[in-house]
Amino acid sequence: MLEDLKKEPTDHLKRVGKTFAGIEIVHFCANDACRTLWNGFQFKQKMGAVIFWHFIVPKICEAKKIIGCQYLFLFAADLTPDELLINYYETFLGFRSSDEHGTAMPLYDYACKFMYQEINGIENRRERFYKDFNPDEESI
The predicted model scores a pTM of 0.82
Give the count of domains, the chain: 1
- Tell me if residue 114 falls in helix, strand or coil: strand
- Would you say how long the chain is, in residues? 140
Q: Is residue 73 part of a domain?
A: yes
Q: Is residue 107 part of a domain?
A: yes
- φ/ψ of residue 33, rounded to 5: -65, -15
Residue 70 domain-assigned (yes or no): yes
- The closest alpha carbon to 76, from 26, 13, 11, 17, belongs to 26
Nearest to 111 by CA among 72, 78, 86: 78
Residue 10 lies in a domain: no
Q: Write the secondary structure of 3-69 as one string of H (helix), E (strand) and C (coil).
A: HHHHHCCCCCCCCCCCCCCEEECCCCCCCHHHHHHHHHHCCCCCHHHHHHHHHHHHHHHHHHHHHCC
Provide the 3-class DSSP secondary structure of residue 90: helix
What's residue 15's pLDDT? 76
**Is 72 contained in some domain?**
yes
Is 14 part of any domain? no
pLDDT of residue 127: 95
Please tell me the predicted confidence (pLDDT) of residue 3: 72
What is the average pLDDT value for the chain, to the nearest integer?
87
Query: Integer distance in angstroms from the first to the last C-alpha of the chain?
Result: 62
Question: Could you tell me whether strands 113-118 and 71-76 are parallel, antiparallel, or unpaired per DSSP bridges?
Answer: antiparallel
Percent of the chain with pLDDT over 70: 89
State pLDDT tens for residues 102-127: 787 777 887 888 999 999 999 999 99
For the stretch 14-40, pLDDT in tens is: 777 888 889 999 988 888 899 999 999
Q: Give me the domain span that covers residue 115.
A: 21-26+42-133
64 within domain boundaries? yes
Fill in the DSSP letter of residue 110: T
